[in-house]
Amino acid sequence: MAIYVICHGAWSGGWSWQAVRRRLAAAGHEVFTPSYTGLGERAHLVGPAVGLGTHIEDIVSLIEFEDLEGVTLVGHSYGGMVAAGVGDRVPARIRRAIFLDAFVPADGQSVRDLAAGGPPGDIVDGWLVPPMPAPPDTAGPMLAWGGPRHRHQPEACFSEPIRLASARPPFARSYIHCTVKTPPDTFKPFADRLRDDPAWDFHELATGHSPNMSAPDLLSDLLLAIG
């Protein structure tokens, strides 16, 4: 039995991984899909002090309080920043980290550093960033279901630099690049860098940026094969 802990993307929540969670659980694995502070079922806790460090602490606390060992950590998009921080904090509890079309930061980098200025859109009330549009391959029913559940996210999540003590963690790492996207592809530079890196296990998925919503069966099969 594998233990999956999902670090979801920006503006989203654990709710967006329902279909994948059910598929992995049906295969006999334990799956945790928590929402970060200020998002999903914890949207009522949002505030200007919530940042990347808060979200890293959310996942570290889950792992420690559930006393999880041998974790397969999955970080999607912005969740790659969170997964990198979690792996740095509790490396002995992680078996593998899977970065799904995600940021892979070095020490001192923020989302805005890695995304050429960060997410577009006006900042609301001086500290909230509105959601980006859903990927174009997201089916209509999923748009209708997921759209109302997205929430504005504190700007500090995108501007706060990550602090990493280790440049090379002791656990295995995989990168999944989603290839069916309208340019520019924010995550292609990470794919190009990691594709032939012997320290990484590299995969491609012929989907848009959020296969947890657009192609949950295809993504689940790949996560099962890797994890």
Active site residue 77: yes
- Point out the catalytic residue in the list 12, 16, 35, 77: 77
Q: How far apart are CA 82 and CA 88, in angstroms?
A: 10
Q: Residue 81 in contact with residue 105, Cβ under 8 Å? A: yes
Q: How far apart are CA 34 and CA 37, in angstroms?
A: 9
Burial class (CB in 10 A: 0-12, 13-18, 19+), 120: exposed
128-129 and 94-100 beta bridge pairing:
unpaired
Angstrom distances, CA of residue 220 to CA of 22, 83, 133: 9, 19, 24
Q: Which has the closest alpha carbon to 127: 157, 86, 161, 83?
A: 157
Q: Residue 95 in contact with residue 171, Cβ under 8 Å? A: yes
Query: Which active-site residues does the annotation give?
Result: 77
